[in-house]
Amino acid sequence: MLEDIKVALVTGGNRGIGYELVKQLALNGFKVILTSRDLEKGHKAALKCKESNLNVSFLMLDIDNPESIHQAVSIINERFGRLDVLINNAGVYLDRNKKLVDIDPSILERTMATNFFGAYHVIRSFIPLMEKQGYGRIINVSSEYGSMGEMSYPGVGAYKLSKLALNGLTRLLAAEIKGDIQINAVDPGWVSTDMGGPSAPRTPKQAAESILWLATTGSKGPNGEFFKDGKRIDW
């Protein structure tokens, strides 16, 4: 039955890991909503998927803009009436390798606005759609840079703090959310994307595979955990 097709949304889905996640979800039978803050790039990326007969639609979503998030929620509610999988993939990496106290404070503020508050507002806004059906899988694309151990080393401070906060949010919400709704964080590793750079050893496809299994876990699956390549890692 068509009604049973699960709906997945990926933020920052127009390139890199996000685009690969969109494709892989669609290949696995999901209706996928590719979101991007860039209208033209988002449309182009979704069109490429459709040309491959993948069930992908585009929705403009700027996670830094609460009004844009609210609009997206009402469009998805109207069009699909549900959201089964939410992947918070959109993020920024604005650091140069300086001490945190030496960077312009606006870099920390902008990094936290997207990597932490953006994900927070997206989750908070979409949770009611999941609670309505008592089911949901939320995956936060994090980084090992966000682990407590990394705080003992200098540099990349804004990015590290934003991912540390995202990891904390993952654990806290896992404790608060009721029903068969699971939320986990994943470190995709160092990936060859615009953000990761060309010398990174991992492809977006490998990174997507390390994330995607959490989209289809059963009711006894993990909740409030941090993973890399399918294995639990320390916060």
Task: Name, in order, each residue with C-beta under 8 angstroms of 145's C-beta and a sequence gap of 6 or more.
Answer: 156, 159, 160, 163
Contact (CB, 8 A) for 49 and 42: no
89 φ/ψ angles, rounded to the nearest 5 degrees: -105, -30
Q: How many residues does the chain have?
A: 235
203 φ/ψ angles, rounded to the nearest 5 degrees: -90, 155
State how far the Cα of 19 lies from the Cα of 183, in Å rounded to an integer: 21
State the chain's maximal CA–CA distance in angstroms.
57
Catalytic residue among 19, 93, 145, 159: 159
DSSP state, residue 16: H
State how far the Cα of 10 lies from the Cα of 154, in Å rounded to an integer: 32
Is 159 among the catalytic positions?
Answer: yes
List the catalytic residues. Answer: 159
